[in-house]
Amino acid sequence: MAIDPSHPAPGRLELVRSLANTEDRYGGHDELADGAWPTDRLDELLRLRTTVRDLATANTERQPPRHETVAEFNRIAAAHPQVVRLDHDVTDLSAELQAHHVAGEVVAAVHEAIIAGTWSRLKACANPECRWLFYDISRSHTGRWCSMAACGSLHKARAYRRRRRAEPS
């Protein structure tokens, strides 16, 4: 099954993917820096975007994230404590953030995805020129490219040309 870069991540994990993908490396456009995401905590969101992308890269590589990346995420998360309370209907739990801004929502979404078991499917494209986050819907959970039509085929074509150049004439 091909990876569809437009396939949304489940639940609030889509917010995490959306934040990370505010930087279009190919097009040279950065929605955060351009003010498309108005916030009084731009520096924090930029750090969080980089951290989330690094965490997703670890998912792609099937490796634990670097200690520095985890420490940075934990520093940001500590600034956004959460309070869990019961709703009037006690069969439904809801989380209320003390901080009312995007960073707190993103931190909560990462926590929820880890608990739900969906976090490991949020990956960063293995193309270092792209690193677009995608939700891996492949059956084997081994997706590496945001799109086979774009980054995957480009990588395979480059590898093919390298092999051809290395062959004796």
Q: Give 73-120 pLDDT, tens digit per residue.
A: 999 999 888 766 665 655 554 444 333 378 888 999 999 999 999 999
Q: Looking at residue 169, what is its pLDDT?
A: 66
Mean of the pLDDT values across residues 137-162? 82
So what's the pLDDT on residue 135?
95
Q: How far is residue 158's CA from residue 27's CA, in Å, rounded to a whole number?
A: 21
Q: What is the pLDDT of residue 69?
A: 98
Domain count, the chain: 1
Rounded distance between C-alpha atoms, residue 60 and residue 48, angstroms: 18
Q: Is residue 47 part of a domain?
A: yes
Q: How far apart are CA 34 and CA 97, in angstroms?
A: 26
- Cβ–Cβ under 8 Å, residues 60 and 144: yes
pLDDT band at 19 (very low <50, low <70, confident <90, very high): very high
Report residue 135 CA to chain centroid gap: 8
Domain of 146? 13-166
**Residue 18, domain member (yes or no):** yes
User: Is 143 within the bounds of a domain?
Assistant: yes
- pLDDT for the residue 86: 60
- Assigned domain for 64 exists: yes
Please report, for the domain that includes residue 21, its CATH number: 1.10.3300
Q: How confident is the model at residue 55 (pLDDT cuts 50, 70, 90)?
A: very high
Lookup: tokens for 69: 């990346």
H or E element in which residue 134 lies: strand 133-135
Does a structural domain hold residue 3? no
